[in-house]
Amino acid sequence: MRGTQRTVAVAAVVAVVVAVLAVVLGVPWLWAGAATAAAVGTVVGVPVVRARRAGATRARSAARSSATAPSTDPSAAQAPRSVREVDDLRDFFDRPPGSPTALPAGAVPDAPAAVPATPGPGADVPAGRGRRGARRGAVVALTLLVLGGLVAGGVVLTGDRGPGGASSRAPAPAPAPAEPSRTGTAPSAAPTPQPAPLTATAAGGLAGTDVPPGVDGFTASLTFAGIVLEPRAVGVTVAYPVLTASSDGSRAVAHLELPVWNCLAADPPADPAAAQCTRSLTEYADLGSPDLVVDRSADGAALRGTFATYTRPNGSAPVYTGRSYAVEVEVGSSPTGATGTLRLGGGEAAVLPGGTVRG
């Protein structure tokens, strides 16, 4: 019976250890081992508990029957004796209390009271103590079995989680995006990329830049009459602008040339050389999109912007003059040629014959 208890205890311990290993290591086949050990302990332990209970019941029944049964030992019965009166006063004087007692002839002295012997290691244990030990063993075995079953059940319930507690299952696929409603508004078109700006990084940086007109663009080459740049105490400083421009419908660039003259007259003469005006350095300016604003119309275009001028002294590298002019130009085409005006500061100059506008 004790061997069976040991087997049950070992099975329970094995179930607990295997279940803990299954949780820590995350090995699926260890769960089956824990469940098997728990099942073996349960199958073996239940008969042990039942056998212990049956043995305890039989021991209690035997104890009750032995206590109530009459004694059948023939030596227990004693024959009746005749009563005889004895005068023991003389014996008292002859043998005072404490004197050794003289035994009658043929009498056998009584044996000394036997000291109860301590049961050895192999002696049988009393029934009560054996029952208590059996109960303790059964309780311990059942407790271990219950612990093993609980751990194994936890492993099964949490078997889909890894050692870190995170689920080892693959995440659910994200729902497919819903198709746009056929009756809803259409998605907005992608924004149109803005054209690269045409900006000069230094004086004369855009001097040789032109934009191919294409289908939606235009080109213009115009010469204007004289316009006052700066009034002076005696006379005026005038210029005779020359403008070339090109655009493809989204970008544009314009080149402005200002031949400068100092004249003694109050107004710009038609021919500054014939009017004995003094020639000065020619100023140049280039302006591109987005600083140059172009507005198209049915019969022409309008251009406006602020032009910073530079000079080329004696053919040297371009140098900014520090002067800027706000210029507005309106051009068109007619059967007789280009038409239009140029406004600079407070003055205005008309297009001279021979100019062209195409597009």
Burial class (CB in 10 A: 0-12, 13-18, 19+), 272: buried
pLDDT computed for residue 137 by the predictor = 64
Would the pLDDT of 49 be above 50? Answer: yes
Q: Mean pLDDT over residues 15-37, rounded?
A: 65
Would the pLDDT of 180 be above 60? Answer: no
Share of the chain above pLDDT 90, in %: 37
Average pLDDT over the chain reads 74
Would the pLDDT of 42 be above 50? Answer: yes
Distance of alpha carbon 110 from alpha carbon 13, whole angstroms: 58
Instruction: Tell whether pTM > 0.85.
Output: no
pLDDT computed for residue 76 by the predictor = 46
Locate the domains of the chain by residue range: 1-63+132-161, 218-358
pLDDT in tens, 62-83: 666 665 554 555 454 454 555 5
* Token pair listed for 19: 């279940």
pLDDT in tens, 196-232: 788 888 999 999 899 999 888 999 999 999 999 999 9
Phi, psi of 289 (to 5 degrees): -65, 145
Within 8 A by CB and 6+ apart from 348, the residues are 227, 341, 342
Least confident of 176-180, 225-229, 241-245, 282-286: 176-180
Least confident of 21-25, 131-135, 281-285: 131-135
Q: Mean pLDDT over residues 270-281, rounded?
A: 95
pLDDT computed for residue 282 by the predictor = 96
DSSP string, 21-72: HHHHH--THHHHHHHHHHHHHHHHHHHHHHHHHHHHHHHHHHHHHHHHSPP-
